[in-house]
Each structure stands twice: as C-alpha cells, then as structure tokens.
Structure 1
C-alpha cells in the first residue's frame, strides 16, 4: 500500500483520538518554545520533547488504516 493510499484511507476511531492528542501536545510544545518571556531551561526542554512526541504520534496515527488488506497484493 502506497503512502498516498494510506493517507486517503479511513482512520480507526482510537487513532483519530490519538492523532488529536498528538496535535495538542505539539501545539503546547510549540507555545512553550515560542514563548516571548524567559522560561526555565527545563521548561524549554519539555517544549521540545512535547513537540517531537506530538508530531510523531500524530503522523503515526494518521497513517494507520482501518482495512488491513494490502491493495498491492495480487492473490
């Protein structure tokens, strides 16, 4: 199955929920990183970790499909 097919296929409910959680984590991390005030170093580190974790969670969740059958298989 090609990546375009995966992106266009329906996503299971659980992974839709996880994708939304990932987007929220990435947004919170982005806000922490782009804060105009000086934050403690650990809070800046946390912002970076949240951004990366949220992005990975959102991407993996979006590529999960309902149908487990590979369309490229012949047989």
Structure 2
C-alpha cells in the first residue's frame, strides 16, 4: 500500500528516465520518492533558496545511494542552467 505522499508523486506522471525540477526542498521526502520513480536514467533537481534544507536533503538522499537527485541552493526563478538541455 502506498502512502499519500507516494501516491501523489506517482500520480504526477513521474516515469523512468524523466528529468524533473522540484522547487522547494522541504524535508526532501518527495524529492527522494521522485528520484526512485525516475530511476538511474532520470534526473531530479530539487531547488531551494535556503542552504540548510538542500544540504540536509543531499545527505539523506546520497547516504542510501540515490544518485539521480541533486539539491542545489539557488533561487528557482533563475533556473538551473547547468542542468538545462
């Protein structure tokens, strides 16, 4: 049985190989779920203007080996030029 957060992320159309930009890191939980859905061929960029949430999310995602997610500290209105096609 999926949690409500897992159902919400899955219902947003996240599929393997997708590149996703998520604005606002929060606890990092939804970014981790999204990373699992897009898999190793996808990319999740979880942007936040605050330093602490992005550093914390990087730690909790990379300790268990989620490599398809990055959590840069940046102003989302400026985009993330190093990850744009």
TM-score for the superposition, normalised by structure 2? 0.22
TM-score (norm. length: structure 1): 0.24
Whose radius of gyration is greater, 1 or 2? 1
Q: Which protein, 1 or 2, shows the higher relative CO under an 8 Å CA cutoff with sep ≥ 6?
A: 1
| Structure ranking higher in helix proportion | 1
Flag the structure with higher strand content. Answer: 2
